Amino acid sequence: MKHIFNSSWLAQKPYLIAIIITLILFFWMASGPSASEQKAEIKANTPSHNEKELTAQVKVETRYGSNIHKIIELYGRTEPDRIATLKAELDGKITEVLAKRGSKVSKGQVIAKIALNGLPVQLTSSKALLKQREVEYEGALKLSQKGYQGKVQLAQSYAALESVKAEIERLELDIANAVVRAPFSGILNTRNVEVGDYVKSGDDIAIIADLDPLIVRAHVTERQISQLSVGQIAQVTLLNGEKAQGVLRYIASVGNDATNTFKIEVEIENKNMQLLAGLSGELTIELAEMSAIKISPALLALDESGNIGVKSVKDTIVQFTPIEIIKSESDGIWLTGLGDQVDIIVLGQGFVRAGDKVDAIFDTASTEQAATSADKE
């Protein structure tokens, strides 16, 4: 036996050493706790997820609703109520110019005169010929009644008489058109002629613009047009700082194919002509009154779908409410969709999502201030 287990014998058979070591490890592991018991112990000693996760704290302010008018804000441009381009209606030289550029003109006021040339002489000749034709026609009529002249000769005499009358009317009209008059009261915006200029029929003489009332033209979207009606009051603020109030007088029934917008016109009283055409400005039209809450734009948030809204707290749970902006002011925006009262997260909203449970810390001072502002509105 001593010979079998001596060291030289074991050295010659190393696989027996490996077998012995394996058997020792097996019996040692079998004597310890099972894997399931180890897992249970680890689970018991490991804090739960709820124990590790602390409830987030957010700062909350209570905001109250106020009744305000929903508005539509547009960018528009002023333009004349009407504009006319006066043109020459006969050929001739300009003999007089009686109105200055930029001056106010009244309906019927003379702007310029065109030389009559030979028109008065032709008119005198035609009037003399008219008397002759009248005598000839009366003679032909008497002879026809007695049977001494046929119907053909009578018709010829009548045609000659009417031809002279038509010529006289044409000459009188040309003489009248030689005096260019304002078709309505307004501003002589442009005058294209000076004394001595020769004009032909159809040449431009002047442009007159009627600025009272002044018109503000703008375009509304497909969603906005259903909320508008003729007669609504509009506030206009021009880029030069001037303000005015007008009335919506026109809404287009056919939209622009390129932009899918509809033209509207607001009429502004402008008796002193202080407001000019061609100015850009902002057009504000008040709509129905509704309850809204005023907040800072910094409190707006987006949900996973990209909808704009506000995060609030109700019963310690974060809620996301989609909103609609109905009015913008220098110190905040007015929103609908939040009801008459809401607890808005004003600090920490970026770290919580809808459905999260939070510890809401109310800002009492800000809440009281918001309530006072709502009452004033």
Domain assignment present for residue 158? The answer is yes
Q: How many domains does the chain have?
A: 4
| 37-46, 145-154, 344-353: the lowest-pLDDT one | 37-46
Please indicate, yes or no, whether residues 100 and 179 belong to a single structural domain of this protein.
yes
* Beta pairing partners, 326: none
**Residues of the chain above pLDDT 70, percent:** 82
Domain assignment present for residue 51? The answer is no
Please indicate, yes or no, whether residues 101 and 197 belong to a single structural domain of this protein.
yes
Domain assignment present for residue 202? The answer is yes
| 6-10, 222-226, 303-307: the lowest-pLDDT one | 6-10
Separation CA 213–CA 246 (nearest Å):
10
Among 206, 240, 269, the domain boundary falls at 206
Residue 14 confidence (pLDDT): 63
Please indicate, yes or no, whether residues 240 and 218 belong to a single structural domain of this protein.
yes
Domain assignment present for residue 50? The answer is no
Greater confidence (20 vs 320) lies with 320
At 156-182, the pLDDT tens digits run 888 999 999 999 999 999 999 999 999
Residue 273 confidence (pLDDT): 86
Query: Full-prediction pTM beyond 0.85?
Result: no
Q: What is the largest CA-CA distance in the chain?
A: 183
Residue 303 confidence (pLDDT): 85
Domain assignment of residue 166, given as a range: 86-206
Please indicate, yes or no, whether residues 60 and 38 belong to a single structural domain of this protein.
no
Please indicate, yes or no, whether residues 165 and 123 belong to a single structural domain of this protein.
yes
Please indicate, yes or no, whether residues 151 and 217 belong to a single structural domain of this protein.
no
Domain assignment present for residue 263? The answer is yes
Mean pLDDT score of the chain: 84
Average the pLDDT over 168-197 and give the result: 94
Domain assignment present for residue 151? The answer is yes
Please indicate, yes or no, whether residues 158 and 113 belong to a single structural domain of this protein.
yes
Residue 287 confidence (pLDDT): 84
Residue 5 confidence (pLDDT): 47
Please indicate, yes or no, whether residues 300 and 285 belong to a single structural domain of this protein.
no
Among 173, 206, 239, the domain boundary falls at 206
The highest-confidence range among 58-72, 205-219, 274-288, 329-343, by mean pLDDT, is 205-219
- For residue 125, pLDDT over 50 is answered with yes
Please indicate, yes or no, whether residues 319 and 228 belong to a single structural domain of this protein.
no
What angle in degrees, to the nearest 10, is found between the helix axes of 151-177 and 119-146?
Answer: 160
| Alpha-helical segments (H) within 203-316 | 222-225
Please indicate, yes or no, whether residues 320 and 355 belong to a single structural domain of this protein.
yes
At 257-281, the pLDDT tens digits run 999 999 999 999 998 888 999 999 9
Residue 157 confidence (pLDDT): 87
Residue 4 confidence (pLDDT): 46
Please indicate, yes or no, whether residues 273 and 305 belong to a single structural domain of this protein.
no
At 90-117, the pLDDT tens digits run 999 999 999 999 999 999 999 999 999 8
Residue 366 binned pLDDT confidence (cut-offs 50, 70, 90): low
At 241-262, the pLDDT tens digits run 899 999 999 999 999 999 999 9
Q: The domain that contains 267 carries what CATH number?
A: 2.40.30.170
Greater confidence (261 vs 3) lies with 261
Residue 52 confidence (pLDDT): 41
- For residue 80, pLDDT over 90 is answered with yes
- For residue 66, pLDDT over 90 is answered with no
Q: The domain that contains 355 carries what CATH number?
A: 2.40.420.20
Among 148, 179, 206, the domain boundary falls at 206
- For residue 127, pLDDT over 60 is answered with yes
- For residue 138, pLDDT over 90 is answered with no
Please indicate, yes or no, whether residues 93 and 189 belong to a single structural domain of this protein.
yes
Domain assignment present for residue 1? The answer is no
Residue 154 confidence (pLDDT): 82
* Beta pairing partners, 291: 67
Greater confidence (45 vs 115) lies with 115
Residue 42 confidence (pLDDT): 43
